[in-house]
A and B are shown apart, each in its own frame.
Chain A
Amino acid sequence: MKQMTISKQAGVAAPLFSVENLSVSFATDSGPLLALDDVNLSIHPGETLAVVGESGSGKSVLSLAIMGLLPPTATVKAGHLRYDGRDLAGLDKTARRGMRGKDMAMIFQEPSTALNPVKRIGDQLVEAILLHDAMPKAKAKARAVEALAATGIPSPEVRARAFPHELSGGMRQRALIAMALIHRPRLLIADEPTTALDVTVQAQILDLIRDLGRETGTATIFITHDMGVVAEMADRVAVLYAGRMVETARASDLFTSPEHPYTLGLLGSMPQLNQRGEPMLPISGTVPDLRRMPSGCHFHPRCPFAQERCAEERPGLRALDRGRRSACHFAPLLETLGGQA
């Protein structure tokens, strides 16, 4: 078991992991594309941070950047990743590989593509164990079965001998979670881990991730576009739009008083927050092409509150009360715009 190293600075615990001013661009045939534009976030031990965004928001690029798995076409233009006080920029590929699975691990949306289809579940777990811990194979096998049992898989000895296709989607996701948590990583990235699952299975998996996180003090970055899942899981929320962070807040604050029009649009797209039978309040239009970004605020062509200023001036992520931040010229929205309605 690892020791929690929480260094105290002026009474505030240092974050386990932080992303500072991260910009990532991709080389494409039609020119460079800025997938992440000056993104900042930090996460403390035991905390769950939800990163919310739709396709094209850059949330998957963010998770790959954190894991050190960006493809060769990507360039980190600026910024730092800091893990437990260490700057990861200085580390070579081998050192980063040494961290993956041990210090930080990831769970993907589609468990069937993340598992090797021709290898038994138990053998894949044993392989993951031996990658970072030398031990006799029999001991590793026993540990693999224990790990499966901890995720609530019934008759784990039998499942360990199964191939991935012999398990249901929910079981496969449990096996993948067992694998991700086998070395007790202090940072877990869950990239839409329940999107492909049925709701009752989703509920089980969400509980599992939350319970295991609580037991081990793991910090979890939970990537999703489902505001319902965010409300269930997150301590804090960061909303991404077209490569930029547009709002961050404690989850309880975000759902009480959203302070960016895009966040409002995402909430308005949830059927639960609309009157039955009435048209829903969607976000008009589509996510912009990252190669032809709108000027000023990226959201202004789709924003019902947009004024001339929004097309000209990029709003920074501004601090509001209660530690909230919004990248909207008009935040706090109700105070600034409420008089117009």
Chain B
Amino acid sequence: MTLLTLTQITRDFHLRGGLFGGRRVLRALDGIDLEIARGETLSLVGESGCGKSTLGRIVAGLQSPSSGEILINGKPALRGKARARQIQIVFQDPFGSLNPKMSVGALIAEPATLHGLVSRRDAPQRVQELMRLVGLRGALAERFPHELSGGQRQRVALARALATEPELIVCDEAVSALDVSVQAQIANLLQDIQKKTGISLLFISHGLSLVRHISHRVAVMYLGRIVEQGEAEQVFANPLHPYTRALISATPEPLPGTGGNRLELEGEIPSPLALPSGCTFRSRCPHATERCAAAQPPLETTGHAAACWHVDSLPEYAPRQTTPPERMRAALDLYRSAAARRTPPLEETIN
């Protein structure tokens, strides 16, 4: 069942062009169509400036689109507090989003009481439930944000988001600043919570590895447009758009002998104030032709599709070798089974 439907979302920012420059318009999002189903994890990937965070903020109701339609459960999206009840957002830096003067307990209780979901009297019990859900020891309720590790702070931010019992959480680079082992912990937690509550996730990330692991569907963005979307498995197994291929190729793999022979992408992302005509990726695309400059390629919104004029004539995709060596796999299996045998689980004995 569809939870969220975005139709032709556009967002312009009006800039003053210097002392005598007059006004200029920066189009951060250009005609975005997107759907998120209940219980689904959809990832938005792309590099800085592609508009993925702006889109996340629009979904969460923190910004309004310049044009376009947002439906939640088939009805026009509500605004303000009512939207916050349905859709929550978790940011990259939990230190910046948690009030340093409030205890963890007060921080987690706040959204629940603000939305009238629990009475003040029942709040402590609800706080304990939420802390258990995000894997925090109950005693930490008395602590303050600066006393917590980065991973613990992000768990608090997640507990706050869950406090309103939302239908969708936007995770805007929510794990990017954490150590790799903590990223894995939080990613496991997100999947676990999704299984327990059936919540939908809009996962925004510039890194592809984690996206591949946790997403059901993926949308790849470049300069304010979606250039490829589809089931995560299909997109990663057979990327259709040259940009998606370059992103996958640029991602370092933790395997021996993977250095070198990448699909190099020339240059940098153009200024959104001086976009190339037609397909905006053509200035960096090794396959670009005159046709690409003439008109913008359309994107099918169903199934696995890419916005590329040459999608049928691109060279066949050669996937990179991704199987770990036998001994490494055996050692990882050994670690995994030893970790599973520990009672009580290691995680709880420490946090």
Contacts and interface: CB of A to CB of B under 8 A. Distances in A.
A251 B256 contact: yes
B333 interface: yes
Interface residues of B, number: 69
A116 interface: no
Interface in B308-323: 322
A66 to B, nearest CB: 22
Interface stretch (B96-104, B113-121, B260-268, B299-307): B260-268
B347 A203 contact: no
A270 B92 CA distance: 19
B254 A233 contact: no
A244 to B, nearest CB: 17
Interface stretch (B69-77, B196-204, B336-344): B336-344
Interface string A187-214: 0000000000011111110110010000
A267 B255 CA distance: 10
A199 B207 contact: yes
B336 A268 contact: yes
A302 B207 contact: no
A305 B346 CA distance: 11
A281 B254 CA distance: 15
Contacts of A269: 180-181, 183-184
A227 B191 CA distance: 23
A230 B254 contact: yes
Interface in B211-252: 212-214, 232-233, 246-247, 249-252
B337 A341 contact: yes
A264 interface: yes
Interface in B253-283: 253-260, 262, 264-265, 267-268
A268 B332 contact: yes
B260 to A, nearest CB: 8
A287 B150 CA distance: 11
B14 interface: no
Contact of B213 (A198, A206, A276): A276
A273 B332 contact: yes
Nearest to B341: A304
A293 interface: no
A231 interface: yes
Contacts of A232: 252, 258-260
B37 interface: no
B187 interface: yes
Nearest to B188: A279
Given A280-B213, A304-B346, A273 B246 contact: no
Interface residues of A, number: 65
In terms of DSSP, what is the predominant structure of the interface of chain B? helix
A170 interface: yes
A201 B247 CA distance: 10
Interface in A14-52: none
Given A199-B208, A337-B338, A286 B351 contact: yes
A228 B251 contact: yes
Contacts of A198: 47-48, 206
A257 B185 CA distance: 24
Contact of B209 (A265, A271, A337): A271
B346 to A, nearest CB: 4
Nearest to B256: A255
A285 interface: yes
Which of A169, A233, A283, A340 is the most central at the interface, judged by chain B CB atoms within 10 Å of its CB?
A283
Interface in A156-181: 168-171
A268 B336 CA distance: 9
Nearest to B326: A256
B47 A280 contact: no
A334 B184 CA distance: 24
B250 to A, nearest CB: 4
Nearest to B46: A198
B326 to A, nearest CB: 9
Contacts of A252: 256-257
Contacts of A226: 180, 252
A201 B334 contact: no
A105 B253 CA distance: 28
A333 B331 contact: yes
13 contacts: A169-B48, A170-B268, A231-B255, A256-B325, A258-B328, A265-B181, A271-B212, A271-B214, A277-B213, A280-B187, A281-B332, A284-B345, A304-B339
Given A255-B325, A304-B342, 14 more contacts: A171-B268, A198-B47, A200-B47, A203-B249, A204-B264, A228-B254, A231-B252, A232-B259, A264-B331, A276-B233, A281-B335, A286-B152, A338-B330, A338-B334
Interface of B: 47-48, 149-152, 179-185, 187-188, 191-192, 206-210, 212-214, 232-233, 246-247, 249-260, 262, 264-265, 267-268, 322, 324-325, 327-328, 330-339, 341-342, 345-347, 349-351
